[in-house]
Structure 1
Amino acid sequence: MKSVNLPYSPRIDQLRWFAATLVFLFHFSIKWRGLGGVVFDTPWAGLISEGHTGVALFFTLSGFLFMRIAQFQQQIDYRGFVRNRMLRILPLYLTVFLLAFSLGRDTFQPQDLLYLFTANLGNSPTSQNLITGAAWCIPLEFMFYLVFPWLSRFALERGMRYLLQLLALMLAFKLMLYHESKHSVLMYFSTFVGRFDQFVMGMLAAMLYLRHQDWLQRWAGWLLLPALALAVCASALQARVAPFNADSNAAFWIVWSLLESVVWAGVILSWVSWQGRLPDWLERVLTHGGKVSFSFYLLHMGVVQTLAQQFGPVRLTGVGGLDTMLVLAVVYGLVWALATLSYHTIEEPFLRLRGSYGMRK
C-alpha cells in the first residue's frame, strides 16, 4: 500500500502479508483441529499454533512505519495524520461492526455503539462470534494513532532514550497489575498494558534503522535467516511454556509482548534492509497480499467459519496431512479472493482521498 508521506517500500507490504497469514494459520488450525483434522502438534510449529503473534508483528510494524514517516517528514500535522488514519481504518472497520450488530440483532443495546472505541474490552459485539472477532485489535491501533504525533515529536527531540524510558514504564505497569488480575493473559493480550510497548518497539527499530542503515543494508543478507530462526524459536518457547489458551494467569506474559516485539523488530530491520530480490512473480504476489492484508485480516474468520459449518471435516484423499494442506490451500485462496474484492470495493476508494500530513522543515 503506497503512502503519500514516505517513499514506497514493497518490503513493508510483504511483512503485512506475512503477519496476516500467521493469524490466518492460527485460526485455521484451531478450527481444523476442532473438526478432527490433522495439525502440526509440536512446539516448533509455534508460528502456527501461536500465530496470534502476527498481531504483534502488525503492531511493531505500525510503530516502525509511522516513525519512518516522522523521520522523513520531520514534523507531523496532527489533523492531517488522524484524517488519513480514519480514511484507512474506518470504512472496513465500520462494515465489520455492521456485520456484528446484524448478528447480534436480538440482544443489541444502544450502548453497544460505544464498543466502536473499545472493541478490545468487555463483551464487545465483535467478540461474541468468530466471524467478526478479529476486529478487537483496531481500537488499540487507533489509540496509538491518536498519540503517535506527540510520541514521534518527543522521540525526535530526545532520541532513543525517550522510547527506552517508555518501554521501562510499560514494564513497570505490567508488574504492578499482574497480581491484581485474575485473567492477566487476556489483559496482556488485548489491552494497552500488554500491547503498547510493541508500537514503541517499532518506533525504536525505526530510529535504529536510520542510525545504522548502511550497516544493516550491508549485512541484512546474513541477518535475515537468524532473525527468522529467532522468531521460530520464540514462538516455540511460548507454545511450550505459556500457550495462549492454557493458563489465564501465566507470569510469562509479563515480559512476553516486549520480547515478542524485539524479535519482530529484528525481522523488520533485516527484511526492510535486504537488498536482494525474490522472483518477480513472488514479489508481486506477496506485495499484493500486503496491500489487501487489512481486509484479509478482518474477514478471514468469516470464510473459515462459514466453510467449516457448511462442509465440516473434508477428507479429499484420506491422508491426514495431505488433506490438511489441500483444504488449507483452498480456504486461503478463497480468503485472498474475498480480501481482494473488499480492498477494491471498500478500502481503495477511501485511500485515494488521503493527503499529505508532513510538515518538512
Structure 2
Amino acid sequence: MTQSTRPAPPNLRIPEINGLRGLAIIAVVWHHITIALAFHPPLVLGVSTGLLLLNGWTGVNLFFMLSGFVLYLPYAAQKRQIRNTTDAWTFYKHRFFRLIPLYYLVCVTAVVLSGHLAHADRGMLREAFAIATFTFPFHHATFVPASNWALWSIGTEVLFSVLFPLLAVLAARRGIKPMLIVALVLSLGVRAIRALDPPPAGPDWIADALLLGRLDEFVIGMALAAAWVRGTFWRIPTTRSGVLAVLLLLAACYGFDRCISRTISFEWMAILNNVFDLGLTLLILTLLNGAPWLRFLRWRVLQLPGMACYSIYLWHLPVMNALGLFKGNTQPAFMAAALLITLFLAALTYRFVEFRAAPDWRALFLFKSPQPVLTVTHEPQPEHEPKLQTPTVTL
C-alpha cells in the first residue's frame, strides 16, 4: 500500500548516548592508569585478559563516532541548516565558545603543574607556542604535547569541527551515503599506508592527529544520526545485533593486542580499526533499536561522566602528572586522590565553564525527573508539517 507520509523520529532524549560517552571516558582514563601502573593483565584459564584490559584507548574511536552523531543530529533533523557562510560562521562561533575557553584554562594549568616552566628549553617554548596558537596538530614534534598527551585527539576533534560545515553541505546536496563511502576508503587507505612505518607507541601524526585516518568514524556517526532521524536505520533483532557487535569488538581487540605486541604484522591495525568501528556501529544501532539490555546506559553513574567527558578528558592527565603517577607514585592514596581531584575539577568546569550560561544547574547533574525510556516507534507525520521532532542529546 502506498503511503504519502514520512516517518517522524520520536520526540525523546537519548540518555543512552550519554551513557556510551561515559563508557568511553572511563575506558580512556583506565588506559592511562594502566600506563602509570605498568599494568600486566592476569591470565584467566590460561588466556590473557589483555584484550579487555589494555585496549582502553579505543574509547577515542567511540568518542569520534558519537561526536559525528551528536553534531549532525540537529542538521539531519533540519532544526539547523548550513546554507551560506553566515550559517557556517554561526556554527564556528558556537563550537569556539563550547570548546576553546576550557581548552585554554586547562592548558595553562597543565603547563604550570608540569613544572616545565622552571626549566623551559627551546622544545618546551615551541610546544607552549603551538598549544597557545592551536597549531600543535600540524607538526610531528608537537601533536602529542608533553604537558597533556590527550590534546592530540582534541586537535582531531577541532579539525573535524572546521570541516563539518562542508560535510553538512555535501550531505545535504549529494547524500550521506556517497560521503560515507569516500570517507571509509580514504581513511582506510591512509591508515594502511601509515601502518607500514608506525610510531613506536601512541597515535600516528598523519592518520590520527590530522584527521585523515579518522574521518570515517565521524562520518559514520553522521550517517547514524541521519538514519535515526529519518527512521531508516537497519532494524534487526537486538539480541542478534548485540551479540554480533560484541563478537566484532572482541575480535578487533584481540587483533589490536597481537599487533601492538608485534605477534602479527602491525599492518593489520588498519583493517582491524574498521572491524572495531563496525562493532561500535552495530552497538549504536542496537541501542537505537531499543534494546532493553542496554538500558543500564541510563544509569546516572554512566550518564554524568559522559555529559562531563570533555572536562574529565582534559583534566585527568594534568592531575595525574602533578601527583607524579607516571613517576612511580602509584600508591592507592595517590590514585584515589588523582581520581577525586579530577572529578572535582571536572564538575566545576563542566558547570561554570562548559555550561556557564545554563539556567538550571540541576539539569546538568540529572537532578530533574527521570527521562522517558527510549523507544523506536515512529509515528507517521503528514507531509504538510514542515518541522521534524528530533531526539536530543547533550551537545
Tell me the TM-score normalised to structure 1 length: 0.76
Structure 1 residue 332 displacement after superposition: 4.3
> Which residue of 37, 57, 61 maps to 1:52?
57
1:301–1:164 CA distance, 2 compared to 1 (3 A): same
Other-structure match for 1:322:
none
Instruction: In structure 2, list runs of 5 or more residues that go unmatched.
Output: 1-10, 360-385, 389-395
Aligned length: 330
Other-structure match for 1:227:
245
Other-structure match for 2:315:
299
Does 2:259 match 1:237?
no
Conserved? CA contact 2:287–2:294, under 8 Å: no
Moved more, 278-287 or 343-352: 278-287
> Which residue of 210, 231, 248 maps to 1:191?
210
Does 2:361 match 1:344?
no
| CA deviation profile, 1:114-142 (whole Å, cap 9, x unmatched) | 3442434433396214xx22111111111
Conserved? CA contact 1:227–1:267, under 8 Å: yes
Other-structure match for 1:209:
228
| CA deviation profile, 1:22-72 (whole Å, cap 9, x unmatched) | 101111112112xxx664466544243121111111001111222322211
Structure 1 residue 14 displacement after superposition: 0.9
Other-structure match for 2:75:
70
Moved more, 192-201 or 105-114: 105-114
Structure 1 residue 261 displacement after superposition: 2.3
> Which residue of 10, 35, 40 maps to 2:15?
10
Query: Structure 1 CA distance, aligned partners of 2:95 and 2:295?
Result: 32
SS in 2 for 1:127: coil
Query: Structure 2 CA distance, aligned partners of 1:219 and 1:54?
Result: 26
- Which residues of 2 match residues 54-133 of structure 1 at below 5 A? 54-73=59-78, 75-76=81-82, 77-102=87-112, 103=114, 104-105=116-117, 106-107=120-121, 108-109=124-125, 112-115=128-131, 116-120=133-137, 121-124=139-142, 127-129=145-147, 132-133=148-149
| CA deviation profile, 1:250-308 (whole Å, cap 9, x unmatched) | 21233343333222222222224325387899622221121111111111223334163
Other-structure match for 2:273:
257
Other-structure match for 2:375:
none
Does 2:35 match 1:30?
yes
- Which residues of 2 match residues 145-184 of structure 1 at below 5 A? 145-159=161-175, 160-175=177-192, 181=197, 183=199
Other-structure match for 1:323:
none
Structure 1 residue 204 displacement after superposition: 2.6
Structure 1 residue 175 displacement after superposition: 4.5
Tell me the TM-score normalised to structure 2 length: 0.71
Q: Identity over the aligned pairs, expressed in percent? A: 25
Conserved? CA contact 2:22–2:303, under 8 Å: yes
1:253–1:234 CA distance, 2 compared to 1 (3 A): closer
1:201–1:341 CA distance, 2 compared to 1 (3 A): same
1:205–1:301 CA distance, 2 compared to 1 (3 A): same
Conserved? CA contact 1:194–1:257, under 8 Å: no
Q: Which amino acid aligns with 2:352?
A: T
Q: RMSD between aligned alpha carbons?
A: 3.6
Q: Which amino acid aligns with 1:128?
A: A
Query: Structure 2 CA distance, aligned partners of 1:111 and 1:44?
Result: 37
SS in 1 for 2:81: coil
Query: Structure 2 CA distance, aligned partners of 1:125 and 1:266?
Result: 31
Structure 1 residue 90 displacement after superposition: 0.7
